[in-house]
Amino acid sequence: MRIALIGQAAFGADVLKGLLERGQQVVGVFCPPDRGSKPDPIKEASAAAGIPVFQPPRMKDPVALEQMQSLNPDLAVLAFVTDIVPGSVLKVPKLGAICYHPSILPKYRGASAINWAVINGETKTGLTIFWVDEGIDTGDILLQKEVDIGPNETTGEVYFNKLYPMGVAAVLEAVDLIAKGQAPRIPQDHSQATYDPPCDEKVAAIDWSKPGRAVFNFIRGCDPQPGATALFRGEKVKFYNPRFVELEHEAPPGEILEVNPDLGLTVAVAGGAVRITRFRTKALGKVKAPEFIEALKPKAGERFE
């Protein structure tokens, strides 16, 4: 089976390596144009394997269609794709195209599925391999797998510890099913669909008026990207590695209750507190609590806005 792989980063590279280890014929790899001096991991892996690499400016560029047609593929595999792949390109492979998505579709369609699952306090999420159509994460389901979200896990922990390795394995499993002619096409129940916008700087500001657990979930849901943001002395500060603390107090949300280099900053929220152990500022970069405390010398009673 002739496979065209569209992807990027370490995830795409690991999918490529897995396909090759299973003896699949990858006839070409599409990845974004180079940014900076270091090539994308999937480009490096492709070069090492002697596989042609195509880097159109965008997948909707006419050259991308020409390149895909030149490969005469049976199947396209999308492994961590942030560009929009147009229908004209997806129609070239004889068997169609499949894509990895880190949620149990039809819930949490969109680019930040893991972030929003954590922010919303979900206790479970998962992944879907689906047949790509021209909608956003709307195609028929090929397979799905579920994972737990721990009460303190961040988006980064859910992805790298669970959905990344499981996702690579699921893509390979899906390709095997297609090769055997055993891959299902299960229509999504679109009435149950949810879609959220990208979790980026536009939505990263902490709303201290929300319940304490919601603030805690928001911080861990924005960790590591984009980083939940508050203002301290008029400057932006991003929070990471939060823990919720059962604590009675009468302080307004956002007020620093305790400064401890070993434990971090304990900050009041409604119904408790959050303890933060990593921070990022423009001047300091990303630092642990002792460095943040030493540099800015925050005091109990000061407040994050």
pLDDT tens for the chain, 305 residues: list them. Answer: 999 999 999 999 999 999 999 999 999 999 999 988 899 999 999 999 999 999 999 999 999 999 999 999 999 999 999 999 999 999 999 999 999 999 999 999 999 999 999 999 999 999 999 999 989 999 999 999 999 999 999 999 999 999 999 999 999 999 999 999 999 999 999 999 999 999 999 999 999 999 999 999 999 999 999 999 999 999 999 999 999 999 999 999 999 999 999 999 999 999 999 999 999 999 999 999 999 999 999 999 999 99
For the CA atoms of 31, 35, 38, 39, the dihedral, rounded to the nearest 10 degrees, stands at: 10
Q: What per-residue confidence (pLDDT) applies to 37?
A: 85
Query: What is the 8-class DSSP label of residue 105?
Result: T
SS (H, E, C) 52-79: CEECCCCCCCHHHHHHHHHHCCCEEEEE
- Say how far apart CA 275 and CA 212 lie, in whole Å: 12
Q: How far apart are CA 113 and CA 96, in angstroms?
A: 24
Name all contacts of 280-287 with Cβ < 8 Å and 24+ positions apart: 280/227, 280/237, 280/238, 280/240, 281/235, 281/236, 281/237, 281/238, 282/235, 282/236, 286/238, 286/240
* pLDDT for residue 75: 98
Taking each helix axis from N to C end, the angle separating 9-21 and 164-179, rounded to the nearest 10 degrees, works out to 40
pLDDT at position 202: 97
Which domains are seen in the chain, by residue range? 2-192 (3.40.50.170), 201-296 (3.10.25.10)
Provide the pLDDT for residue 36: 85
Long-range contacts (CB closer than 8 Å, 24 or more residues apart) made by 263-271: 263/289, 264/289, 265/289, 265/292, 265/293, 265/298, 267/304, 269/208, 269/211, 269/212, 269/215, 269/216, 270/209, 270/210, 270/211, 270/212, 270/215, 271/211, 271/212, 271/213
Amino acid at 51: I
**C-alpha to C-alpha distances, 68 to 3, 72, 202, nearest whole angstrom:** 10, 7, 35
